[in-house]
Each structure stands twice: as C-alpha cells, then as structure tokens.
Chain A
Amino acid sequence: MPEGSASLQLAVGDRVVYPNQGVCRVTAIDVKEVAGQKLTFVTMRREEDGAVVMVPSNKVVAIGVRKVATAEDVESIFEFLRSDSDKADLDWKQRARTNLDRMTQGGILGLAEVVKGLQVLSELRPLPTKERELYDNARHLLVMEVAAALGTAEVNAEDSIDVVLFPPGRERPKRTAAEFARDEEDLGLDGDLLGLDGDLDLPSDEEPPAEPAEEEASEEGEEGEAAESTEEAAPKKRGRPPKAKPEAAEGGEAAAPKKRGRPPKPKPEATAAAEGAEAPAPKKRGRPPKPKPPEAEGAAPAAPKKRGRPPKAKPSEGED
C-alpha cells in the first residue's frame, strides 16, 4: 500500500517536506479513479495551517517531496551557516535562478544556502523587495524544518539559526563589493561584451553610437543591480553622452554647433572637414544629417544620400 515511489517510500503518518510549502504529514495513501485510470494518491496535510494536497504517487519524487531532515542534517546546516564560505552572487539574474533551484530542489541545505547568501548580500546593501520576500520564505521554511527535525518550538529553531548567523555580542560586518572578487570575473566579461559592441558601432557610423549606448543603458536600467556592479561599462555609457555634448559645443563654431549640437559626436568631424559645406547642409536638412557633410563635402549632389539617412538621425533627435 505505501507506494511512494522507487526511492521514497511513504506511509501514513510520515512527515515530509513539500518544496516551497513546508512540512507536511502524510494523512492518507489511497487509490482513486481519475479519467478511467486507477491512480494512487498521497494525501498530505501541511502542519502549519492544515492545507491539504493530493499528489499522484508516481509524481512525488519529481515534485521534490522528501523526508524531513534528520538531526545530523541540521547539525551540518549549523556548521554551514557558521562557516565563512559566503560569496554572494552580484549578478541578480544568476542569483535568482540559483536561488529558485535551491528552494525547489536543494533540500534543507538549499534553504540554508539561500538564507546565508541573501544575508551576506544584505551586508553589502539592502535587499530588493523580491529578494527580501524570498529571504523571508526561505527562512520560514528553514525554521519550520529545523523545528520539525529537532522537535522543538519554532522560536527556538529560529534562535538556533540566528545564534549562528548573528553571534551574540557581535555586530554584522559591513561588506564592500570588492570582497566579492569572484564576481568581478563575470562582470569583466559583461564589460568586454559591451565594449565590443561599442567598438563595432564606432567604425561603422559615428552617429549610431549614441543609439546603442542609450539602448544598452536602458537595458542596464532594467537589469538594475547587474548594471550597478558593471562599473566599467555602465558609467561610461551613461556619463559620456551628456559630457560629450558640452565639449562638442565648446570646441565647435559658436552658432552652428549650438543649433545642431545635440548630436554631439559628429561635431568634431564637421568642424574639421565641412567648413565650406556648413552653410548649405545645415540649413536644408541640418539637424538630422550633421554628420553627413563630411561624407558629402565636395558636392551638393550629396542631397540624395542625405535623404537616406534621416531615418538614422531622427531617432537621435527624438531621444534628445
């Protein structure tokens, strides 16, 4: 009757842990007919609030249901929490993925890793809301399992964990990003990739760099933390466009550059090469095609060429 699965034999009364739900007690194992098929279901009741879930016995292992940790497991958890092997992953995407896996498949050690990792990260900076919630969930599940494993009250289980994480009489250390040296490798890679993008854009057209830079900046903005950590790439892209504009305006001719000054990068070229062509080019289609004069210097026939570019230049105006 107690058909759990190949590797997990369950019987009524067993205490198990349902991933992301907590400690449950097996209340029944019975056969039910569903859509003409006879299936064995394991019924579990969550100890915390009495919620009931029924799982087909052949899915129990796939879902990640496992027996409650033993006292030895808990002792090893305390050892892990006590250790200094605490490298927080500064890449939020990687961290989120890893933590999700740990929560669902990592067992009690996975829960401890999430708690420890986020606690260490919080010593560097306050946790974002989502991770604060994740920390609270992981801590709750860990406390419940430790309490179940040791047969003690939840508050004692929590204090057992926190006596290790926050040793009495000591304040938590404040950390710096430099301490997470391992993560710099990843950031370096990102920076290289971003740098390559910028290089590729520069030779092809001088105008485009403004666009990709802004696009990348917006992407980084979405990534938030990841962008914070990429000190090399992020600040350059965001900082330079505004700086370049004033520089171009200063170096360029007084009136003309101011009018067209906002596409800043083309200005140096325009000043160097298009002195004679300034008058016609800017007046007619001036703002979008500023960079064009260098290419179309000698000839007014450059007009057709300019018609093709407006689409490129327009976005830069709109962005400005």
Chain B
Amino acid sequence: MIRVWTLDSFDDKQLAKFNRTLYTAFGVGSEHSGSAEVPAGMPEPLDAEKLLQEVKGIRSYKDDKVLLLTTRKLKERELPSGVAPTSGFAWHGKDRAVLSIAPHKDLETGFKPVARHALHQLGHLWELHHCLDPRCSMYPPWTPSFAQGEPIFCTFCREKSEQKIRLAKS
C-alpha cells in the first residue's frame, strides 16, 4: 500500500487524481493517509534526509510505502562527486520517501512532472535503480527532459517493480 502523507495543504481532488496515477503505475493501492508537521525549527530548504528521520506522526504498516508530499523546497545534496539537485529523496529499499512539488505551486499546475517524480521516489523504495531510458520515470530526475515525460515506467523497470511488489506480498 502506498500512503501519501502531506506536510502542507493540498487540494483533495488533485490528491485523489495523484493517487490514481500511483495506483496505475504500481498496481498497488494508494491513498492519502493524513497530514503531518515538518519538525519545528527545520529551515527551508528542507534537508530531505533529516526530514525523513525526524518527521513525527506517520503511521503505516510494515509493507507500506510512505510518500511525504510538501510544497517546500528541498536542499541540494553535496555528494562526493558533485551537487545533486534534489526534488525528492528516498531510502533505497526501505519504506519512506519525500517529494517536493516545487517549483510548482500546486499539483494541478505541475501534475505530470510531480507524478513522474513520485514514481521515481517510490521506485527507489522498491529497489529500482536509475534507468537508461529517457522515457522511464527512473531516469535521473535532474536531466532536462525528465520533467517533460509521462509518469510511466519502461518495461524493465515495470517488471522489476512488479516482481518486488509480489515478493513483498508473499
């Protein structure tokens, strides 16, 4: 089950549409499970990794995947090989990811790119790696063409995610 938790206010209809897109992509139920607060004193842009560790009040079951949705910007990550633009962050193979819809104001204005990013982060939760196919949502998200694509997976990534989901269910 995919559980979307919002850290800011979002339109319910847009959230419902967003959940339908996630359901279509993964074949797993997706719902808006509630709202949570950003830890007090956390400066903006938010440190994604710290946010995932410190956010409180998220309830989920063992096999659930939690996606935190926020309108606030996430801080770029300093990596050993350079700076990685960060619009989302996920613990690989674990259960929690965060996604910022910035620079879009709401889901309606940037639905496709946000949905594509959501697929990307949730894909990481199901142990998918970055993909070579520019049409796939697992393509590196900082590439210029990423935001123009559809929220879909390539055949390889879709099959792999389905396999991981089956394994998780069994």
Binding site for B on A (CB under 8 A): 71, 74-75, 78, 82, 118-119, 122, 126-127, 129, 132-133, 135-136, 139-140, 143, 150, 152-156, 158-164, 166, 168-172
Contact = CB atoms under 8 A, between A and B. Distances in A.
Contacts of B80: 71, 74-75, 78, 150, 152, 160
B129 A140 contact: yes
B132 A162 contact: no
Interface in B64-114: 77, 79-85, 89-93
B79 A126 contact: no
Contacts of B85: 168
Contact of B92 (A71, A82, A158, A163): A158
B32 interface: no
Given A154-B93, A155-B124, A170 B129 contact: no
B81 A155 contact: no
Contact of A158 (B83, B129, B143): B129
Contacts, number: 82
B63 interface: no
Given A153-B92, A172-B134, 17 more contacts: A71-B80, A75-B80, A118-B132, A136-B160, A152-B80, A155-B90, A155-B92, A160-B79, A160-B80, A160-B84, A162-B130, A163-B83, A163-B84, A168-B143, A171-B134, A171-B145, A172-B143
B81 A171 contact: no
B91 A153 contact: yes
19 contacts: A71-B80, A75-B80, A78-B80, A119-B132, A126-B132, A126-B133, A135-B132, A143-B129, A153-B92, A154-B93, A156-B84, A161-B81, A163-B79, A163-B82, A163-B84, A164-B82, A166-B140, A168-B143, A171-B144
Interface residues of B, number: 27
A153 B129 CA distance: 13
A158 B93 CA distance: 13
Contacts of B133: 126
B132 A127 contact: yes
A163 B81 contact: yes
A111 to B, nearest CB: 13
B143 A171 contact: yes
6 nearest interchain CB pairs? A154-B92, A168-B142, A160-B79, A166-B140, A122-B132, A160-B81
A133 B129 CA distance: 11
A169 B144 contact: yes
A134 to B, nearest CB: 12
Contacts of A82: 81
B74 to A, nearest CB: 13
Contact of B130 (A118, A158, A169): A158
Contacts of A118: 132
B49 A153 contact: yes
B81 A166 contact: no
